[in-house]
Structure 1
Amino acid sequence: MLIVNAWSEDPESFRPERFEGLEGEVKAYNFIPFGRGRRSCPRAGLANRVMGLALATLIQSFEWERISEAEVDLTGGIGLTMPKVKPLEAMCKARE
């Protein structure tokens, strides 16, 4: 469960200067990707479902291999999308 403080940046007022000087994803914790309340994205549910289908299609359609023999580092970095500290490098080949 994710509980977000949607009122931390006064979302009811128009203040474009709040986005100036953002560096990386550090400030991204203050924002909600699909919005909240009346101004939320009407297709957020569809986007979440399509992402699962897109990932399943990639897994089903390709054979995946690691580039190196080293173990995959699953350490998470700082950011809203949970990026890896060291990005995963993989090679794919279309299935027959």
Structure 2
Amino acid sequence: MRDPNLWEYPDEFHPERFMVSPSKEKDDEREQLALNYLPFGSGRRGCPGAHLGNIFVGVAIGTMVQCFDWRINGDKISMEETGEMSLSMAHPLQCTHVARINPLASFESGDP
């Protein structure tokens, strides 16, 4: 991020250098800025734990789907939206997990 060939005054803090106008004439500038600002996003400087994080998320979701039934808190789901820049649910979905199996069932019967 301090390459003088890519940035004017590379050792000074100028956050406006990452702001791009949404106009269509600036497509080339937008693409160039996207390529310039990759401090730890890809290549040999990519995050070393990104793949591990993806694996853990998959395992966690798989475990929640496999081991639990999910009950909705309330009568019905409200799909009402709120927000301006990014939409979110006005009434977030709330669920309660119910175990499908008793994890201690094998120990209660006396079998090792």
* TM-score of the superposed pair, with normalisation by structure 1: 0.50
CA distance in 2 between partners of 1:93 and 1:61 (Å):
9
Question: Are 1:70 and 2:73 matched, yes or no?
Answer: no
1:24 is aligned to: none
Q: 8 Å contact 2:73–2:94 — kept in the other structure? A: yes
1:93 is aligned to: 98
TM-aligned CA distance change 1:72 to 1:62, over 3 Å: farther
TM-aligned CA distance change 1:72 to 1:37, over 3 Å: farther
Q: 8 Å contact 2:72–2:95 — kept in the other structure? A: yes
TM-aligned CA distance change 1:48 to 1:89, over 3 Å: same
Count residues with an aligned counterpart: 69
**5+ residue gaps in structure 2?**
3-10, 16-33, 102-112
TM-aligned CA distance change 1:88 to 1:17, over 3 Å: farther
Structure with max Cα Rg: 2
**5+ residue gaps in structure 1?**
1-11, 19-29
Q: C-alpha offsets along residues 46-76 of structure 1, whole Å, 9 cap, x if unaligned?
A: 2112211110101111110100122352869
Question: What is the CA RMSD across the aligned residues, in angstroms?
Answer: 3.6
2:47 is aligned to: 41
RCO higher in structure (CA 8 A, sep ≥6) = 1
